[in-house]
Amino acid sequence: MAEFKRIVILTGAGISAESGIDTFRSAGGLWEQHRVEDVATPEGFARNPNLVLNFYDMRRAALGNVAPNPAHEALARLEREFSGELLLVTQNVDDLHERGGSARVLHMHGELKSALCTSCETRSPWLTTMIERPPCPVCRAPTLRPDVVWFGEMPYQMGRIYHALETCELFVSIGTSGAVYPAAGFVQEARANGAQCLELNLERSEGSRFFHESRLGPASVLVPEWVEDVLGC
Ligand code: OAD
């Protein structure tokens, strides 16, 4: 592992599962409790903004009841100690990577603790609720929405991600089902450009066959083990 100099890591809901945040597609997961069309599309927001604002207000508030687990902490250690280039991309909208100690996290699907103004398009840090239609801190219009990428919208910083995927030597996917594109296609992109591809997941993901290796188990165990490997401990 120590020979890799450029690594891209993609994380999904599975890395936060042991911290107590529901994944999307597990039995009883978020998409069994809520309809995607209602709470994760621009059309759903236009139809029933209160329902959508409340859904994300609750998820933002719930972050106060959870804490990072050893998988988040191990990736923070990797960021501190790895001498090569590392890009940590997460599909997660929680802040557990940051609270686990990672300073540089690319949130491709946005963040619960951020608000997007639909008038001036500014993204602002946001820690409280939006249901009462607070004014945008920049333009004062009462037009804030959760800064979360919904189905049908473009994830953030795709150019930067694809550039890293073209040049990385190792691509590691952690705790994601591989059900949602474009993230689900990252493994094929990295592999086509010659990277070794490793998945760390509780079970085989939908794109498991594209990885050179799959290690199956809980992220809180697999990720610290893998980080030790990379750092050559
Ligand atoms: P999913 O719920 O689709 O998949 C979570 C994956 O984590 C599954 O493959 C689980 O087997 C695995 N998993 C569960 N517990 C784990 C553990 N303790 N250790 C390791 N793996 C574990 O979540 P995502 O793949 O993140 O997008 O979903 C991708 C996107 O779909 C989300 O970002 C969200 C959702 O719709 C948007 O809302 C735009």
Pocket of ligand 1 (CB under 6 A): 12-14, 17-18, 23-26, 29, 40, 91, 109, 149, 175-177, 179-180, 201-203, 205, 218-219
- pLDDT for the residue 233: 67
Residues 180-198: tens digit of each pLDDT: 999 999 999 999 999 999 9
Give the Cβ contact number of residue 96 at 10 Å: 23
Q: Whose CA is nearest to atom 23 of ligand 1?
A: 13
- pLDDT for the residue 29: 87
Residues 143-188: tens digit of each pLDDT: 999 999 999 999 999 999 999 999 999 999 999 999 999 999 999 9
Residues 44-74: tens digit of each pLDDT: 999 999 999 999 999 999 999 999 999 999 9
Cut 0.75: pTM above it: yes
- Position 1 pLDDT exceeds 80: no
Q: How far is the CA of 184 from the centre of ligand 1 (A)?
A: 11
- pLDDT for the residue 214: 98
Residues 7-52: tens digit of each pLDDT: 999 999 999 999 999 999 988 888 888 999 999 999 999 999 999 9
Q: Whose CA is nearest to atom 31 of ligand 1?
A: 180
Q: How far is the CA of 134 from the centre of ligand 1 (A)?
A: 31
Residues 88-101: tens digit of each pLDDT: 999 999 999 999 99
Nearest-angstrom CA–CA distance, 56 and 50: 10
SS3 110: strand
The set of catalytic residues is 109
Q: Whose CA is nearest to atom 32 of ligand 1?
A: 91
SS3 89: strand
Contact between residue 194 and residue 222 where contact means Cβ atoms under 8 Å apart: no
Residues 98-124: tens digit of each pLDDT: 999 999 999 999 999 999 999 999 999
- pLDDT for the residue 26: 87
Would you say how long the chain is, in residues? 233
- pLDDT for the residue 128: 97
| Pairing verdict, β 196-201 and 213-216 | parallel
- Position 2 pLDDT exceeds 70: no
Q: How far is the CA of 122 from the centre of ligand 1 (A)?
A: 28
The tokens of 94 are what? Answer: 């929680």
